[in-house]
Structure 1
Amino acid sequence: MKLQHSLGGLENLGPVNVDTQVFVEPWEKRIFGIHTVMMAESTHLADALPRYPVADLPTTFRNTWTWASLRTGAEGMQPFEYFKYRYYEKWLMGISQFFIDEGYVSAEELEEKTRHYRGDPQAALPDKPNPAIAAQISAYLVKGDSGFHAFAQEPRFSKGAQVRVGDPDAVDHTRLPGYLRNKPGTVDLVYPGAFSYFVSTGPDGIGHAMPVYRVAFNAADIWGKEKSEPNTTIYADLFDAYLLAPN
């Protein structure tokens, strides 16, 4: 599995940062805004719930960009590089590389712009008001995007069923917390309907609509009695593809 995905219980990683300040630096707000605009213009919204008229938007952005895109970029980083940088620095690198890979900007152009604004931090940023894009962003922030579907398949497990979490091959992106792999649990809730994911994760097993379960785990089964508080239950929402019948 990717070392940097869901690090619960990993020893000697260092103290947990409990800072409640969302944005430490002013530029981080802009990175969050860029990501939000990209999601609001994403081509997948044409088939999302609710559907949006993205094909008619006056924009040159014609790609799919979701939370999965952002997470794939971060999880694909070399682990030592991943731990070197702060949260929004990872966002910045992932988004920048995406625009380079898709041909929206060249690495040379980005480097030139970087030199320009480092030399003159107060230089004006491009200002191109676009009422249609602004309306789309507002609609997206209000209505969101849902992966909910009617059941594509009957749930394999019911409430109270004993299950074991699988250990699928590591891929660029996963929604399976690393510390739950191969752990036993109990289905606590079967969510109504089925849920798809933004992208297919290939051998990881998710993408198309499938049942989702809330699974309860004894903390001691995950981290051992000596490292767990007694009578502690951990809950996780897991796609059907990640669960196996107990051995």
Structure 2
Amino acid sequence: MKLQHTLGGLEGLDPVQPEFRVFVEPWEERIFGIHTAMMALSPQLNLPQTSSTFSTVWTWADLRKGAEAMNPFDYFKYRYYEKWLGGISGYFVANGYITQAEIDARTDEYLADPAKPLPSGGTPDVDDRIHTYLMDGDSPWHQWADKPRFAVGDIVLVGDPPTVEHTRLPGYLRNKVGVVETVYDDAFSYLCSTGPDGIGPAMPVYCVKFDPQHLWPGNAEPGFSIYADLFDAYLRPVVDRAAA
């Protein structure tokens, strides 16, 4: 869904009750650990093989795609890690690691006996790979493939590309005009292709400056600007505005 990325610019979402604790419930920390292990064990990483049976790709993008695929009412109803739990569970079912019937049965077991011990597992080789991943990470940085189309000071129009599963373009910036403030060194990719949304191979990224009066006419405080880091695929010369 277009508008579930960077919701801070949208109106009408009040009241907002910020949660400053990283983990509210103990199970949330466990979900974060499962997500981290899935990323570390993904086969596209150049890390030592392990005894783990996890054999498919999982990235931050997959986590976000799962959340943004939710019914909008559910998206706003559930807390942060509840969305993670749903996305991870759906991924395991979709990739054949477990069936929905098995998840439902285990859920019923723990609802009937909340004190039942949690399963334990893990091996030293798996733990070592996860630790290595946490230390090294995986970078989206690449050397230039193409020269940037825009320079500092250029006026650009933000496009309105179709989105299927995930977008890196805030909905409130679509079809808006801004000025290139910074052209970042080198090029950057994302964790996966976003398809018709336009993000695939490494490309230039720009910091673009926007006038809040243009984003929210008659409803913005004077004297400040909005800045957004945007992929090259999302921008076009302002002369193309009629074709946007």
User: TM-score normalized by structure 1?
Assistant: 0.92
Q: Is the aligned partner of 1:31 residue 2:27?
A: no
**Alpha-carbon deviation of 1:12?**
2.4
Q: Deviations over 1:2-47 (max 9, x none)?
A: 343322343322212222112111111111111111111112223x
Aligned length, in residue pairs: 239
Q: Deviations over 1:56-77 (max 9, x none)?
A: 1211111111110000011111
For 2:62 and 2:154, how far apart are their aligned partners in 1?
A: 33
Q: Is the aligned partner of 1:211 residue 2:204?
A: yes
For 1:83 and 1:60, how far apart are their aligned partners in 2?
A: 34
For 2:12 and 2:165, how far apart are their aligned partners in 1?
A: 25
Note if contact 1:3-1:79 (Cα within 8 Å) is conserved in structure 2: no
Secondary structure of the residue aligned to 1:213 is strand
**Alpha-carbon deviation of 1:128?**
2.0
Query: What is the root-mean-square deviation of aligned Cα atoms in Å?
Result: 1.3
Note if contact 1:8-1:179 (Cα within 8 Å) is conserved in structure 2: no
**Matching residue of 2:14:** 14
Q: What are the residue-to-residue correspondences of 1:22-101 with 2, within 5 Å? A: 22-46=22-46, 52-53=47-48, 56-101=49-94
Structure 2 gap ranges (5+)? 240-244
Q: Is the aligned partner of 1:107 residue 2:88?
A: no
Which residue type is aligned with residue 246 of structure 1?
Answer: V
Structure 1 gap ranges (5+)? 47-51
* Structure 2 residue corresponding to 1:241, chosen from 233, 237, 242: 233
**Alpha-carbon deviation of 1:158?**
1.0
Which residue type is aligned with residue 211 of structure 1?
Answer: P
For 2:122 and 2:168, how far apart are their aligned partners in 1?
A: 37
Secondary structure of the residue aligned to 2:114 is coil
Note if contact 1:165-1:183 (Cα within 8 Å) is conserved in structure 2: yes
Which residue type is aligned with residue 145 of structure 1?
Answer: D
For 1:220 and 1:145, how far apart are their aligned partners in 2?
A: 38
Q: Deviations over 1:173-193 (max 9, x none)?
A: 000011110111111111111
For 2:2 and 2:178, how far apart are their aligned partners in 1?
A: 22
Note if contact 1:164-1:245 (Cα within 8 Å) is conserved in structure 2: yes
* Structure 1 residue corresponding to 2:172, chosen from 155, 170, 179: 179
For 1:179 and 1:189, how far apart are their aligned partners in 2?
A: 21
**Alpha-carbon deviation of 1:159?**
1.3
* Structure 2 residue corresponding to 1:227, chosen from 186, 211, 219: 219
Secondary structure of the residue aligned to 1:227 is coil
Q: Deviations over 1:192-233 (max 9, x none)?
A: 111111111111100211111111111111112x32111211
Secondary structure of the residue aligned to 2:4 is coil
**Matching residue of 1:49:** none
Secondary structure of the residue aligned to 1:146 is coil
Task: State percent identity of aligned pairs.
Answer: 57
* Structure 1 residue corresponding to 2:162, chosen from 169, 187, 191: 169
